[in-house]
A and B are shown apart, each in its own frame.
Chain A
């Protein structure tokens, strides 16, 4: 077994942030946020070539990330704050009046780190394609990353974009799909089966990789591998296996915590499972 990775501490703190943010306003989406924590932490703390203090909307000369499944905003906000895009104390304003931390990510409030609004599902891959093309037009060799949910790929626009990216050989793009197998109304298998996802993306012309998204070592390794796979005339997609609610025993593996906030005792129980490593906001 590999030794504990240094980013594990950040993951624990980010999970605390997520739970406390959602609990404070009794709204938000903890399940997917907890499940994608390793991905987001690995991306921002190990992979992305971007300087928080120099954030610019056009992302020229740096890697760009788009969150398509915008409902996991608590995760994104926590990671952005912990990485230094804005003050950690601002996490306290999540979903409150006059906050830059809107329920779903938005640009109107000019929160550093965010380049496009998301939340209405299925749009992020198209946006990422456009950003990736702009990099090619600018001879900018940095990469574009995008995260989608698995239920999200039931949206037709995702497949328009999938066809388009392969056709145009957008090979500076790394998409990741969070395969937690859950959506609001139940399992993806029950609601609308996604079928053979590997075969679908491969047949659309994508370079398909697999990742254990709740294993920080495998996440970092696979993201680095994905970067090696860029520049080969194919867009890259990572099929990321995660557990919704990962890190909290009573939330794990069920769609019930997709969009429900924990109550006081549930919060206490959850936080007891997640050491405070960097200090709560």
Chain B
């Protein structure tokens, strides 16, 4: 297998490390949190740059507005809270003061997806990609591991405009390299293949790589594409791959409605209709449990990706 890992780290720590580095590099970077400094791994930034760290308390709507105002004043604000409090709770604030106003706010959302775990469905945000990608002007990013999350954090500061940056809570294999370039909107081909294209984002990129290894043992050559930028979607990369393989599986820790799979299906339906299978949560809320157990129960695990791949190949 091309990819291995020697350690597991949470993607939110990649955000924390990236934010600290940004603080050193760019005096215009400011960070805000709504009483979740530690959960978002923002402690180092707070310690190093107390003047540029803004604690708003448990008041996310205000945080989004304050961030918008800071952006108007020329700052580059990074808001940090859980994914559910970063999106649904403050959708109208984001819509008017950030997306429509095109303010340079970076909405950084941790604990996304089912792998938040034991806290359960109240905190398991699996609708966020849909909500955020629907907003004009919004760039939506969902990196796959610690290194990529750190790189994405650095990249979004250099991009002018609203960004939604999604990451998670659990320790997760670190399989990309720390020095890999991160280009917003540019997909990464993780594994070259010819029989099926697996298009994944976030934590499920690793699961897709594991699935590809099993498929290889069964004589199936799977191409794995890491879509770290949900919007704008790298249409060129997807079309090039699906033109070659003729079928596609999408994999994401999100609802089927509104997720990455929706975006890919929309693209293919218009330009390259192809057999397709969606690995995603099917119109239900999550529940308490251990992260990996949840992925199994909700059909987001390696065997599901393998079976889906074999199934779409048969439909070619």
Contacts and interface: CB of A to CB of B under 8 A. Distances in A.
Nearest to B60: A160
B220 to A, nearest CB: 48
B3 interface: no
A108 interface: yes
B275 interface: no
B65 A127 contact: yes
Interface SS of chain B: helix, strand, loop or mixed? helix
Interface in B4-52: 30, 51-52
A126 B66 CA distance: 5
A41 B71 CA distance: 27
Nearest to A128: B69
Interface stretch (B91-99, B151-159, B280-288): B91-99
B67 interface: yes
Q: Which bracket fits the contact residues of B?
A: 20 to 34
B135 interface: no
Nearest to A129: B66
A59 B73 contact: yes
Interface in B231-276: none
Interface residues of A, number: 39
A118 B96 contact: yes
Contacts, number: 122
B59 interface: yes
Interface in B63-110: 63-75, 77, 92-93, 95-97, 100-103
Give the interface centre of A106, A107, A108, A133 by most chain B CB atoms within 10 Å. A133
Nearest to B136: A108
A126 B97 CA distance: 10
A58 interface: yes
B69 A132 contact: yes
Given A107-B101, A123-B96, A130-B67, A137 B57 contact: no
Contacts of B121: none
B61 interface: yes
Contact of A133 (B59, B70, B92, B101): B70
A115 B66 contact: no
A133 B61 contact: no
Interface string A112-142: 0001111110111111111111110110000
Interface in A55-70: 57-60, 64, 66
Contacts of B72: 57-59, 64, 115-116, 127, 130-131, 134
A268 B64 CA distance: 44
A81 to B, nearest CB: 21
Nearest to B32: A130
A58 B73 contact: yes
B62 A117 contact: no
A129 B75 CA distance: 13
B97 A137 contact: no
A134 B68 contact: no
Contacts of A157: 59, 61-62, 65, 93
Give the interface centre of A107, A126, A129, A135 by most chain B CB atoms within 10 Å. A126
Nearest 3 interchain pairs by C-beta: A130-B69, A126-B65, A134-B73
Given A60-B73, A130-B77, A157-B93, 6 more contacts: A116-B68, A117-B101, A127-B68, A130-B71, A131-B73, A137-B51
